[in-house]
Amino acid sequence: MGHELKNGVARVITKQYRDPLDAVWLKTAASIGLTVVRNDDAFASTDGSGTLTLATQQELDPDDCLAQMIFHEICHSLVAGPDAFSKRDWGMGDQDIENPEVERSTLRAQLHISRHYGLERFLAPTTDFREFYDTLLDPLSGTDPEINSARRAIQRSMKYPWAPHLHHALDATQKILRVTAGFSDPESMLQLSKEPTRKCRGCGWLREELCIAQDKPRSANDEACLSWETEVECESCGACCREAYHSVTLTPGDVAQTRHPRLVVLQNNYVEMKRNNGRCIALIGTSAKMNFACTIYVDRPTSCRDFELGGNHCITARRRVGRSI
């Protein structure tokens, strides 16, 4: 391609300009397995064969940017899981109408991940769900099933094919905005980044300078990782008594055998608590309508007594049921 100059000499153009943030996110999408194309006839859609179609900039609102749109679709893929790459629109259909809880899960994951880089405002959604997004003080607080879905999505962000590409892109975006903010006007979106402020202090997994979530030394003043969460409460969790473990074996000295014989069962040469659809039969409650509780707490087996709240087995159980990252 050439350009006719005033002196009649044709200049050969070998490079073209691309917005730095666009370059970061187009490359990131490709690394994860998505080819981005722009089309006036679509807002955001995947074809199940690796193509992500997004509207052209002319069709978008002034506060839309390619980085935010790609990031949001990547968060959709995190919620849907790796198999969704082979399904049109992540196998979700119309989130606004058919699966609003999927969209809410996506936004919870989107906020938690972007907040880690100080980008929760810059990468905020521009759809009708923005009001919901803006009300989320802690996107992972509560007991709604969509929160567990968001936690699983955040877990996936640290695994192939998303990692390390997604987090490299977020880090690069934060650095670009940090440099360009001083050159932009007050109304510019480039002003919407901030320094991450969350520290390991207050995280439920910090134990005497050791992070049990990451299994490495951490100081209370270190920058928090994506696994940060508040102190664990048994009553809203119940993971250890639910499907996290397949068996609770009783020792000969456990009084539950004699005091609650209808709750135990003999398995070959050992006795264990009965289970109902993966749950210990002594467990009552649900995360949505009432707190979890053990009906034989005073007589609970030795293995239950030895189970440490906030310990390694606790976080393993919570991760198995999607309660922790």
Per-domain residue ranges of the chain: 20-191, 198-231, 234-320
Report the 10 Å Cβ neighbour count for 152. Answer: 19
pLDDT tens over the chain, length 325 residues: 555 565 667 888 899 999 999 999 999 999 999 999 999 887 899 999 999 999 998 888 888 999 999 999 999 999 999 999 999 999 987 555 567 899 999 999 999 999 999 999 999 999 889 999 999 988 987 767 899 899 999 999 999 999 999 999 999 999 999 999 989 998 899 899 888 778 898 898 998 899 998 889 999 999 889 988 888 888 888 899 987 888 899 999 999 999 999 999 988 888 999 998 889 999 998 866 678 999 999 999 999 999 999 888 998 899 888 888 8
Distance from C-alpha of 128 to C-alpha of 125, rounded to nearest angstrom: 8
Q: Which of 14, 36, 12 is nearest to 25 (CA)?
A: 36
Cβ(79)–Cβ(94) below 8 Å:
no
Amino acid 202: pLDDT: 87
Q: Which residues make Cβ contacts (< 8 Å) with residue 50, sequence separation at least 6? A: 33, 34, 35, 85
Amino acid 2: pLDDT: 55
Distance from C-alpha of 75 to C-alpha of 249, rounded to nearest angstrom: 40
What pTM value is reported for the model? 0.84
Distance from C-alpha of 254 to C-alpha of 161, rounded to nearest angstrom: 47
Amino acid 5: pLDDT: 61
SS3 53: strand
Task: Report which secondary-structure segment, H or E, holds 37.
Answer: strand 35-38
Length of the chain: 325
Q: Which of 66, 73, 113, 68 is nearest to 92 (CA)?
A: 73
Strands 35-38 and 51-54: parallel
CA 295 to chain centre: 33
Amino acid 57: pLDDT: 85
Q: Which residues make Cβ contacts (< 8 Å) with residue 179, sequence separation at least 6? A: none
